[in-house]
Amino acid sequence: MGCYLSKRTKKTPGYEEPTVLAAETPFTVNEVEALYELFKKLSSSVIDDGLIHKEELQLALFRNKNKRNLFADRIFDLFDVKRNGVIEFGEFVRSLGVFHPNAPVEDKIHFAFRLYDLRQTGFIEREELKEMVMALLHESDLLLSDDCVETIVDKTFSDADLKGDGKIDPDEWKEFVSKNPSLIKNMTLPHLKDITLAFPSFVSKTEVEDSEI
């Protein structure tokens, strides 16, 4: 009887089985397996430890791991469900699932609300809205005067704050988005539906789409 050596593939920390993740997200098992290859690539781009650090996510989204970016910070914070400063594979897949074309619109609206709720108070306040608008304008290389920015923020806030209490609650946000669906347009990444075909060009496509937000 001969002897043989079997080499087990080492999984990253926090690895979860594709069948489990596929059951909880819009992705198929094959798509989750393709996402794992993407995850391994991202999680070794700066620190090779099988976990995605903020610099690695920023590098993937904006090709720059050093420049502070409010949008990247918020995306990272929402993906980092365990709040331990890194993104594990399970967190990565479940969070990306929200951006899948087949994900419920309610999930996209909720994620977008949390994105704008910078101080995590359960409401979007005027200053938070202004910070996010300015960050998105900056990423789009759009230069507007302070007066113009204030006008955009004032108009948006007055339309969304139906109760007139100086803050936007989840119900008001949902109503506002239903009238302005373009607000969550970037909450859908069409190529996630074909991730098995798109990989490894997924990252470059993500860079292009996020730069257009």
Interval 90-123: pLDDT, tens: 999 999 999 999 999 999 999 999 999 999 999 9
**May I ask the CATH class of domain 17-103+188-205?**
mainly alpha
CATH 1.10.238.10 domain position(s) in the chain: 17-103+188-205, 104-187
- Beta-carbon contacts of 41 under 8 Å, excluding residues fewer than 6 positions away, are 200, 203
pLDDT of residue 203 exceeding 50: no
pLDDT of residue 23: 97
Least confident of 31-35, 76-80, 140-144: 140-144
Residues 191-211: what's their mean pLDDT?
A: 50
| 114 within 8 A of 78, measured Cβ to Cβ | yes
CATH of domain 104-187: 1.10.238.10
SS3 letters across 98-156: CCCCCCCHHHHHHHHHHHHCCCCCCCEEHHHHHHHHHHHHHHCCCCCCHHHHHHHHHHH
Query: Hey, how many other C-beta atoms are within 10 angstroms of the C-beta on 67?
Result: 9
- Beta-carbon contacts of 12 under 8 Å, excluding residues fewer than 6 positions away, are 39, 40, 43, 50, 51, 88, 89
* Alpha carbon distance 41, 60 (integer Å): 10
Question: What predicted TM-score, i.e. pTM, was given to this entire model?
Answer: 0.80
Give the pLDDT band (50/70/90) at residue 12: confident
| 198 within 8 A of 191, measured Cβ to Cβ | yes
Query: Hey, how many other C-beta atoms are within 10 angstroms of the C-beta on 182?
Result: 7
* Alpha carbon distance 11, 18 (integer Å): 12
